[in-house]
Structure 1
Amino acid sequence: MTTPDPATSPDNAVKTYRYLRLAMPTLVVMLFAAIAIEWGATGRRCLQESISAYYYTPAQGVFVGVLVAIGVCLVSIKGSTDLEDVLLNTAGVFAPIVAFVPTPKPGSCRSVPEPLLDTAAGVSNNVGALLVMGTVALVVAALVFRREAANGQARRALGAGILVTAATIAVGAVAFFAARGPFLEYAHYVAAFAMFGPIVGVVVINARLFGEARVGPGASSMEVYRNRYTVIAVLMVAALVLMYGWSLLVGWVHAVLWIEGVLITLFAVFWSVQTAELWNTLSRGARTRR
């Protein structure tokens, strides 16, 4: 009797996906813990104006590490549909840029003096390395695409991912080398929107797929979207719109801090909910095929 190879066991694949999903809310906990420790060191009344500004505090290492790790997780997870997969890859590609290109507003609330490092030099080094890695990954993906079996859907999804990645690298490289000043000023914000926008899209797709599986064919859109994932997506959009609108009305200094905090918390909630739902399966597509 042949003993099955543990390395190729379907159970191991399921566990890998489970741990990738679990990693993201866990990483968010670490980020918030680092910020809380820094907040405790500066005093209760002293908060940076954004989570991104904690890059300029002793929490910098955790801030950068968490975003890079989340980016790897997002790219590694295969979406249940082609569109979800492209959105996950897009969010994952932009996460390290959010980490490596800090907000140009360092704030004044930190427990130690601002490090006397050349931020522009750090961005030049880190983003340059990221572009090299992205180019290598793109070449590898193109080789995989050529070797992929004649599976139209799989090739289409991989091809779309390659195109999105190639376009991102090309635009990023042009901005980085040809317009370094504006890149340093705006890349953090552009990358943050390019990361969280696709994540909202992923949550909406999950709301639809979860609803369709729950209520069955022929159900109305209202019935399909009446579920926990829709609540998360609505809260994400509402938090951004309402808090930003309120800040315009009253000049709320810490609006960005709270917007980022709520969005990151809901990001962690989404992955926690999906982890529980798909605990024993790779994806909804895999569960449906069974």
Structure 2
Amino acid sequence: MTEPAGYSIKTYRYLRMAMVAMIVLLAAAVLIEWSKTDPHCLQTSISAYYYTPVRAIFVGGLITIGVCMVVLKGNTETEDILLNVAGILAPGVALVPTPGQGDCHSVPVVLGDAAANVSNNMLALFVVGVPCLLLTAYFVVRDRLREPSAWTPAYLLGLGVAVLVFGGGLGWFLVDRSGFIGHAHYAAAIVMFACIVAVVVVNAEQLRRKHRVPQSRANRYSVIAVAMVVVPLLMVAWAKLFGWAHAVLGIEAALIVLFAAFWIIQTQELWSEGLRQEFPRSPQATPSPSQSSAPE
């Protein structure tokens, strides 16, 4: 009979695989939509496929990925906070559409009142988010009182970052609704992708410490991290020099594919243990299991 710990690791695996499934689902939906249009007709970004029959998969997939990012525990305190921030922002990327509708779609899509959709859906998201943050704060205080020795300031750091991101979005939504509808998608998407790149960088450093890899040698995570920085820069340079209307689409696709590759490799690495021990900088220091800090 499987022990409770075994069930926990199985659940961890399923959540991780669900994220990969959502990425594949989104890619399949985009490719199917593309197959029904002219081969040279592509939306200028993946987000613009919100205005095509892909919309339901785009919104549902991003919200699912966001939930998984928040629920899953990062291997380090830094990774945990970065995943939580990316997870908090993912529903915003999904629910606030990019202003540019594009003109490459297989059939006309009736959207209704986009501003009303954003106002309703984001308000619902904020209504759910507030009690979640309050509950997280309760858990932070409870853990501090129950186990003072195990508690670290990182608990408050994680909660503070989540409150800052969530509270900033809520304030923007309430004070400047038109500005929020026009720009929140880009703001959330840029920060979300930055957090994802940072997660890969953190894992590259931790894997280097784990295997005592010399600074001059790259590991699999550092290769992906470098690609996540270099490939978008090359695409931007190409667009500036030669003109490329689909540069954003290319950058988004590259980052998503690279993140999927990272996630699959990390899932394989952590298949049995669930979490990697957090390794300190000093070779003489003893690694300790990572403790949860950021709000889950």
Per the normalisation by structure 1, the TM-score is 0.91
C-alpha distance after superposition, 1:1-44 (max 9, x if no partner) = xxx8x6x7111111111112212121110000000111111131
Q: What is the identity, as a one-letter code, of the residue corresponding to 2:117? A: G
Kindly state the Cα deviation for residue 155 of structure 1 after the two structures are TM-superposed.
Answer: 4.6
In structure 2, the partner of 1:61 is 56
Counterpart-to-counterpart distance in 1, 2:150 and 2:57: 38
For residue 154 of structure 2, the aligned residue among 142, 157, 160 is: 157
1:222 and 2:219 aligned? no
Kindly state the Cα deviation for residue 116 of structure 1 after the two structures are TM-superposed.
Answer: 3.9
Counterpart-to-counterpart distance in 2, 1:237 and 1:144: 37
Counterpart-to-counterpart distance in 1, 2:161 and 2:204: 24
Kindly state the Cα deviation for residue 150 of structure 1 after the two structures are TM-superposed.
Answer: 2.2
In structure 1, the partner of 2:203 is 206
1:182 and 2:174 aligned? no
Kindly state the Cα deviation for residue 220 of structure 1 after the two structures are TM-superposed.
Answer: 3.9
In structure 1, the partner of 2:31 is 36
C-alpha distance after superposition, 1:177-223 (max 9, x if no partner) = 111222112111110111111111110111111111112xxx64224
C-alpha distance after superposition, 1:248-275 (max 9, x if no partner) = 2222001111111010111111110001
Counterpart-to-counterpart distance in 2, 1:47 and 1:103: 15
Counterpart-to-counterpart distance in 2, 1:186 and 1:87: 22
Counterpart-to-counterpart distance in 2, 1:184 and 1:39: 27
> 1:83-94 alignment to 2 at 5 Å?
83-94=78-89
User: In 2 relative to 1, CA 20–152 (structure 1 residues): closer, same or farther, beyond 3 Å?
Assistant: farther
> 1:265-276 alignment to 2 at 5 Å?
265-276=257-268
Q: CA RMSD in A?
A: 1.8
Kindly state the Cα deviation for residue 289 of structure 1 after the two structures are TM-superposed.
Answer: 5.5
Cα contact 2:208–2:214 (8 A) shared by 1: no
Give the unaligned 5+ runs of structure 2: 280-286, 290-296
Q: What is the identity, as a one-letter code, of the residue corresponding to 1:136? A: P
User: In 2 relative to 1, CA 152–200 (structure 1 residues): closer, same or farther, beyond 3 Å?
Assistant: farther
The structure whose residues are more often helix, as a share, is 1
For residue 114 of structure 1, the aligned residue among 109, 120, 126 is: 109
Q: What is the identity, as a one-letter code, of the residue corresponding to 1:193? A: I
Counterpart-to-counterpart distance in 2, 1:189 and 1:154: 36
Kindly state the Cα deviation for residue 231 of structure 1 after the two structures are TM-superposed.
Answer: 0.7
In structure 2, the partner of 1:281 is 273
Q: What is the identity, as a one-letter code, of the residue corresponding to 2:11? A: T
Helix, strand or coil at the partner of 2:216: helix
In structure 2, the partner of 1:257 is 249
Counterpart-to-counterpart distance in 2, 1:256 and 1:153: 44
Kindly state the Cα deviation for residue 247 of structure 1 after the two structures are TM-superposed.
Answer: 1.1
Q: What is the identity, as a one-letter code, of the residue corresponding to 1:243? A: M
In structure 1, the partner of 2:73 is 78
Q: Where in structure 1 do 4 or more consecutive aligned residues deviate above 2 Å?
A: 149-158, 219-223, 286-290
User: In 2 relative to 1, CA 260–180 (structure 1 residues): closer, same or farther, beyond 3 Å?
Assistant: same
In structure 1, the partner of 2:170 is 173
Counterpart-to-counterpart distance in 2, 1:269 and 1:154: 34
Q: How many residues align?
A: 280
Cα contact 2:76–2:278 (8 A) shared by 1: no
Q: What is the identity, as a one-letter code, of the residue corresponding to 2:197? A: V
Helix, strand or coil at the partner of 1:12: helix
User: In 2 relative to 1, CA 173–268 (structure 1 residues): closer, same or farther, beyond 3 Å?
Assistant: same
Cα contact 2:206–2:278 (8 A) shared by 1: no
